[in-house]
Structure 1
Amino acid sequence: MRSQTKDASVVQCSKCGRRNRPPRAASGIPQCGDCHQPLPWVTKVGDGDFSEVVEAARIPAAVNLWAPWGGRPCRMVSPALEQVAADLAGRLKLVKVNEAPRLSERFPVQAISTLAVIDQGRVVTRRSGAAPAPALREWVNDALAA
């Protein structure tokens, strides 16, 4: 699986600047190794590890079903969602899914990118297409409030 970011598994703490590598799946919420602030949680999954990483998460997950051939919309959504994940560190997990046929069938993908907020295995909301970070933040906040 390929990512649009250089290494989506390494994040920098916004408070102290330390680079951290949060686990893909965990029973808690990742925190900075130095200052213990919540970290943005960004990871990638495929068909085989979706349940462990997304459905078993203690916090809601924003799932981005994208494809490298999706063009500009996919390239726009990824950094916008990463900004939302950073803004909502400790409250949201961002999960990127690329080329996962079983998941594409499970969450019928009509357009790329298809986004869903999943909380405790249940799809709270979903949408398709690109949007700027403020619109995605509002969409996620509405889902978190539901």
Structure 2
Amino acid sequence: MSELLHVVCPYCSATNRLPSNRLRQGPKCGQCHTLLFNGHPLELNSSNFEKQVSRNDIPLLVDFWAEWCGPCKMMAPAFEQAAKLLEPDVRLGKLNTEAESALSARYNIRSIPTLIVFKNGRELTRQSGAMNAGDIVRWVKGSMHF
């Protein structure tokens, strides 16, 4: 028997309930009918951040970044690749610290890029500095124990 998970749609932010054994079967949102997992990081902002952090039963890995940050730009393709490798076990999202300064201040972001893993509304772990895709995947899997 598989457990029912809440998965927030990356497009319309509807909360979907689906059996854990269906995560890898290309599930679609019950409201907007788009794929719940597309292998790309979600653009996070003040309107969708809270729901993605608190309503998803799967972990959320957030890249706190800025447009002017060289290491952030260098890491962007690796983060994109990590999304393909980690979904559907982990949702990945990017939050622009310049556009969302209140959220970056709330999480005390002092250097970028900073990656934070959230689970059930709580911060589990964080890591500052650019990483390649393999390092991102290893770090997340190591911190999540799966």
Q: TM-score, normalised by structure 1?
A: 0.73
Q: Is 2:10–2:36's contact at 8 Å kept on the other side of the alignment?
A: no
SS at match of 1:103: helix
Match of 1:51 in 2: 50
Separation in 1 of the partners of 2:88 and 2:119? 14
Structure 2 counterpart of 1:23: 11
Question: Is 1:32–1:39's contact at 8 Å kept on the other side of the alignment?
Answer: no
| Equivalent pair of 2:52/2:60 in contact (CA under 8 Å) | no
User: How many percent identity over aligned positions?
Assistant: 32
Q: Which blocks of at least 5 consecutive residues in structure 2 are unaligned?
A: 1-8, 18-22, 29-34
Q: Who is 2:32 aligned against?
A: none
Q: 2:95 aligns with which of 87, 94, 97?
A: 97
Aligned length: 123
How well do the aligned residues superpose, as a CA RMSD in angstroms? 2.6
1:47 touches 1:100 (CA, 8 Å); kept in 2? yes
Matched, 1:70 2:59: no
Partner of 2:113: 113
TM-score (norm 2): 0.73
The answer on whether the counterparts of 1:63 and 1:115 sit within 8 Å (CA) in structure 2 is yes
